[in-house]
Amino acid sequence: MGRVPNGVLHTYMLPNSNSLRPNQDRDLGSLAHWFAKAAKVESSTYDPAGDAGARQEQRTVRFTDKLYAKELHSTQTIDIWTSDYRNFVYPHLCSTAGVPSPDYLTTSSSDNAKINGLTSDPGTYAAFMALVNDATRAEYGAAADLTNPYWIARSVSEFIRENFDYGVPDEKEWKPGEGVWNPVQYKLQRFLEGSDANLLTCSSTAFCTEALCRSALVPARWVGTTRFRNSWTDGFEGYEWDADKDGLMGMSESSTDESYHRWAEVWLGTTYGWQRFDGTPASTKYEQSQWDMMDLCAHGVDYKDLVTTVGKGYISSMFDAAAGQQYYNTCGHYDGDKWKQPDKAIYWQVPCYVFVDTPHVPVSTDWLTVTWTLSGSWDLDPDATLSIYAVATGTTDRIPLAARIAADAGALTVNIRGTFADGVSYTLWLIKDGDEITGGHSNVFLYEAP
């Protein structure tokens, strides 16, 4: 295949710091890299819209060895804490005041034809916003409030959810210069022309929402996220990552995210700052309830979502020019026609594990000493506590034995008189409080009443 002139680059964006993400924190001291073959790690920064307050750090693994059809791997690992973050927004307190950078607004420097064509095609955005206004008047008997940033973003999100299905138009219907996700003015043009192929993915929805809001002088940007995937298996027997079907994430188990997610963030003033607006269509459009819209608009972020990238316009180091796609988590680009896009994924694992000792059998006393050993990075959470349960064989019901015990205690004696049934087998379970998938359990043991 010959030598690739500029090597191969694997690019990573580090998740935002806690100062920017109320629902997530990170430990840069844990950052580590692994890569195969000759390579080096380069560091750089990216400021969306020139906003130094939203600065993100990038790591690029540059492979410079002679690359003759070699398979190259790189991995970045980092410790992250996530939690639910919920908002209650009063629309009348929202404004566009205090935006961190004027470049989040619709200025020529903030537009890029690779993403939205906002300044090159303002007529498309004006015509689409007129439809949003008409639809709001028809549904609610009043025109959309196109002065309040919350209602502008919410009206746009509702219109998209009610008029688009999820998906990508057939390539035969693409306009010249159109890609899978962008530039998004073509998606809007297709709708204005009365096409039946009105399809948007999360990415194109985020780009549309960002540009439509900015066309109405509301500061907006997009974010790229990875998601802890814990959906149920087809047989409803447990989580897809749960190989041993015990509901706990063991050392060899991980949740894989190969699809990621993207949504728009809208600036609602100094009171609320940047807020999530996720109008990504369902597989089939339907009329949205007010509850639906409250859940999707400025409601907060789930603990399963980790924001890795904040973008305005396009990020050159993570843009695939050949495919016309803006990546937003990890990407690799190659300076050779025969190189293929690498497999890339983000793996979630818990950092802490519990190994529970099995009592000597049969247990025939009123008191039971539960012992356990910790493994992993419990030092990251020195105040962690565990709750102890028993589960009878053949059931899934947890019998509480003790609550909020210091994780590093290692042992606790509990009274089981009247709790266990004679001649029944049990397992002991220790679950980390506040984290249902971190813990451990013993093997089965038999209880015989004294």
DSSP secondary structure, 342-358, as one string: PP--EEE--SEEEEEPP
Nearest CA-CA partner of 389 in 347, 431, 346, 360: 431
pLDDT digits (tens, 9 = 90+) for 13-24: 887 765 567 788
339 band by pLDDT with thresholds 50, 70 and 90: very low
Q: What is the sign of the dihedral through the CA atoms of 283, 159, 213 and 186? A: positive
| Residue whose C-alpha is closest to residue 20's, from 265, 318, 280, 330 | 265
Instruction: Scan for tokens 């998004």, then name that residue.
Output: 184
Structural domains of the chain in order of their starting residue, each with its CATH number: 85-316 (3.10.620), 354-447 (2.60.40.10)
pTM for this predicted structure: 0.85
* Cα–Cα distance, 425 to 446 (Å, whole number): 4
Q: What is the pLDDT of residue 429?
A: 98
> In sequence order, which ranges of 51-148 are alpha helices (DSSP H)?
122-140
Query: For the chain, what percent of residues have pLDDT higher than 70?
Result: 88
pLDDT tier at 218 (50, 70, 90 boundaries)? very high
d(CA 314, CA 327): 9
Q: Note every long-range contact of 249-254, with CB atoms under 8 Å and residues 24 or more positions apart, other chains counting.
A: 249/349, 249/350, 249/437, 249/438, 250/353, 251/353, 251/375, 251/376, 253/349, 254/347, 254/348, 254/349
Tell me phi and psi for residue 52, to 5 degrees.
-65, -25
Question: Who's near 167: CB < 8 A, 6+ residues apart?
Answer: 199, 200, 201, 283
Q: Which amino acid is at 315?
A: I
- Bridge partner list, 369: 413
- Whether the CB-CB separation of 393 and 424 falls below 8 Å is answered with yes
- Per-residue pLDDT, averaged over 270-294, amounts to 91
- How far apart are alpha carbons 354 and 358 in whole angstroms? 13
What's the pLDDT at 3? 34
Interatomic CA distance for residues 91 and 97, integer angstroms: 14
CB 152 within 8 A of CB 144: yes
Interior angle at CA 370, CA 254 and CA 83, nearest 5: 35
Least confident stretch, 152-156, 224-228, 235-239, 376-380: 235-239
